[in-house]
Amino acid sequence: MQRRNFLGQVLTATAATTLLNHSTLANFYKRNKSSVAEEFVIADTKLGKVKGVSIDGVNIFKGIPYAGKTSGEYRFKRPGKLAPWNDVLDATKPGAPAIQPPRRNEPDPSEDCLFLNVWTPANDGKKRAVMFYNHGGGFVIGSGAAGGQDGANLARNFDVVVVQTNHRLGLMGFLYLDQIAGPEYEGSGNNGMLDIVDGLKWVNANIKNFGGDPNNVMIWGESGGGAKTSCLYAMPSAAPYFNKASIESGPGVRMFDKETAHETTLQVFKELNIPISDWKKILDVPAADLLALQNKLPSVAPFQEKNKKKGMMSRNAGGFGPVVDGKALLANPFDPIAPKISKNKPLLVGWNEDEFTFFAWQSKDTEFTKLDFEGLKAKLLHTYGDDTDKIIATYRKSLPNATAPEIFIAISSITMMGLGSITIAEKMVEQKAAPVYLYNFGYKSEMKIPGTDYPMGTPHAMDISFKFNNESANKPSFFGGNRPEKAIASHNFAELWTNFAKTGKPFTKEGPGWPAYNLQDKPMMRIDTQMEIIINRYPEIIELWRSLGRI
């Protein structure tokens, strides 16, 4: 199997299985929530008043519209203008998520999905740091109301304001029509990202009425949300509205080029049996039919790998995500360089140590747990060909006590999320401007992959509930397990991130100082119950992948 195709399949799994991440996990956390509403609270926005609810000392507003219609005549266009309202708007329930399979305990998905949620300690005019979170789910699923990313504990325990948006996803948010539909549809391949920019604009205009500082905004996100954050970091339209960023287990180094996006568009019209000359007929296709069509195509988070023969970036058509259109997104976020427009904005970037166990769990892959080293070679040979022996030998030397299954997880995890994170850190350092901080999340869950005795470790998506400070010492966690010390790791993670949001520097009162990444020491923070600065972690492994052109 070609390496590019393998990675495409892996990232197809990322997008597809994150559906369970953002529904199964959400359901778990909602079942375990016991807070009781205390009173209603009213806040002003530029367009009218909204009514939220105060729960355990946090004011929560959900389902606030931040832009207008995206259905009907506005399908595949920028939203219609949002009209002011006279009555107090009920903002006690989440707004509709973008078109996708139904989400439990949320409204039915809708084309009109531009709503946001706010968690604040008080609507008191205080200038708190604002943490603007981009939900995961690739670019095809998810919402700002998923349970594990509930922002109440961050607001309550660390005195910050948390904001999360719903925005267009998949075909509805990223169908590239620029080459066939004319100037009205310019930027259509980035509508989902431009929706998020509209959310940032809303924050700039309104957040002071929610106790937040419009001049101290951090954008952050995990998985697909990390890739969205990577794009925002490179988008001129977003630049005035945030001051720092964090990219977590979703390094968006490269996005779709126009040619690939156009090929996908042609596939869509072919499947719909609509001639390009009659492209407007897609405006009348029911959203449910478009979703069904979307599910036939690869739901791949944008990923491009160097084609050694062509010396350029390439990937197969299919899938939906941001497009380097030269307008909304001028260039790949971190290729060949970090974006100059954000060079003065501090950045956090990193990944979880055992990312791939999540995907093994979701795909019910238990065979890897039985591998010996001969089986490991056979399994990797399809992907890495003549480089396989070199890869295995390097890992066995660097991790002498690791079993064959552990090496398989280590290889799969770092190639999915780690190498892109390191690339981003290095590109930032090369700018010699704002600091970048590299991390690994390493708290080990005792939970086992079902049907095996193999522990989950630190899987993809486990960091969500930890960094939102939603892990409790006396309550079970979906991934985090039952050990009470998980609450310590969660507090550490949340304290680092909230202090970064406030000051541009991640720190805790009791942990070690976290130096900015540099190309000499290559310091990395390992986040766990005990935090540790590791100098030049995995040097042989990193140089291996660099020699193979992966960094």
pLDDT of residue 33: 45
Half-sphere exposure at residue 287, Cβ-oriented, CA atoms within 13 angstroms: 20
Q: Do domains 3-248 and 346-508+520-547 have the same CATH topology?
A: yes
Is the CATH number of domain 346-508+520-547 3.80.30.20?
no
What averages of pLDDT result for each successive group of 10 residues across the chain (551 residues)? 32 37 42 59 98 97 98 98 97 98 95 98 97 97 95 98 98 97 96 98 98 98 98 98 98 96 97 97 98 84 40 61 97 98 98 97 94 98 97 98 98 98 98 98 96 96 98 93 97 98 97 98 98 98 97 93
Cα distances (Å, whole numbers) of residue 348 to 38, 172, 249, 403, 416: 36, 30, 11, 31, 18
Q: Where are the domains of the chain?
A: 3-248, 346-508+520-547
Question: What are 543-546's contacts with CB under 8 Å, separation 24+?
Answer: 544/390, 544/391, 544/394, 545/414, 545/415, 545/419
Nearest to 506 by CA among 483, 488, 527: 527
Count of other CB atoms within 10 angstroms of residue 393: 12
Q: Three-class SS of residue 242?
A: coil
pLDDT of residue 27: 42
The sign of the torsion formed by the CA atoms of 278, 279, 284, 286 equals positive
pLDDT of residue 318: 80
> How many whole angstroms separate alpha carbon 186 and alpha carbon 190?
9
Start-to-end C-alpha separation, the chain: 21
> How many whole angstroms separate alpha carbon 425 and alpha carbon 417?
13
pLDDT of residue 306: 43
- What's at 485, amino acid-wise? E
> How many whole angstroms separate alpha carbon 547 and alpha carbon 541?
10
pLDDT of residue 28: 40
| Burial readout 222-235 (b: 16 or more C-beta within 10 A, e: otherwise) | bbbbbbbbbbbbbb
Q: Give the fold, CATH level 3, of 3-248.
A: Rossmann fold (3.40.50)
pLDDT of residue 346: 98
Apex CA 111: angle with CA 107 and CA 116, to 5°? 60
